[in-house]
Amino acid sequence: MLAVEATTVAATDIVRRRFSWEEFLLQAWFMTRVSLLPTILVAIPFGVIISVQIGAVAGQVGATSFSGAVNGIGILRQGAPLVTSLMIAGAVGSAICSDLGARQVREEIDALKVMGISPVQRLVAPRVVAALVVALLLTIIVAMTAMITAYVLNVGGGTISSGAYLDSFVSFSQPTDLLLAELKALVFGFIATIVAAHKGLSASGGPKGVADAVNQSVVLSVILLAVVNVAITQAYVMLVPQGIA
What's the pLDDT at 243?
Answer: 53
Q: What is the pLDDT of residues 143-166, one digit of tens each?
A: 888 888 888 877 777 667 777 777
Positive or negative CA dihedral for 140, 142, 146, 149?
A: positive
Worst-scoring range by mean pLDDT, 17-26, 110-119, 127-136, 229-238? 229-238
- CA atoms of 243 and 173, how far apart (whole Å): 9
What's the pLDDT at 244?
Answer: 47
Mean pLDDT computed over 157-178? 76
What's the pLDDT at 50?
Answer: 73
pLDDT of residue 53 exceeding 80, the answer is no
Compute how many other C-beta atoms are within 10 angstroms of the C-beta atom of residue 218.
Answer: 21
173 vs 106, residue with greater confidence: 106
pLDDT of residue 55 exceeding 80, the answer is no
DSSP H or E stretch at residue 118: none
Q: What is the pLDDT of residues 96-118, one digit of tens each?
A: 899 889 888 888 888 888 888 88
Mean pLDDT computed over 49-76? 70
87 vs 97, residue with greater confidence: 97
Percent over 70 (pLDDT), the chain:
91
Percent over 90 (pLDDT), the chain:
12
245 vs 56, residue with greater confidence: 56
Q: What is the pLDDT of residues 120-141, one digit of tens each?
A: 888 899 999 999 999 888 888 8
Of the pLDDT bands very low, low, confident and very high (cuts 50, 70, 90), residue 242 is low
19 vs 168, residue with greater confidence: 19
- CA atoms of 139 and 72, how far apart (whole Å): 14
243 vs 180, residue with greater confidence: 180
The residues, ordered by sequence, that sit 6+ positions from 180 with a Cβ below 8 Å of its Cβ are: 76, 77, 81, 232, 236, 240
- CA atoms of 211 and 87, how far apart (whole Å): 18
- CA atoms of 187 and 85, how far apart (whole Å): 9
| Arithmetic mean of pLDDT over the chain | 83
What's the pLDDT at 4?
Answer: 92
What's the pLDDT at 170?
Answer: 77
Worst-scoring range by mean pLDDT, 129-133, 157-161, 201-205, 218-222? 157-161
What's the pLDDT at 65?
Answer: 66
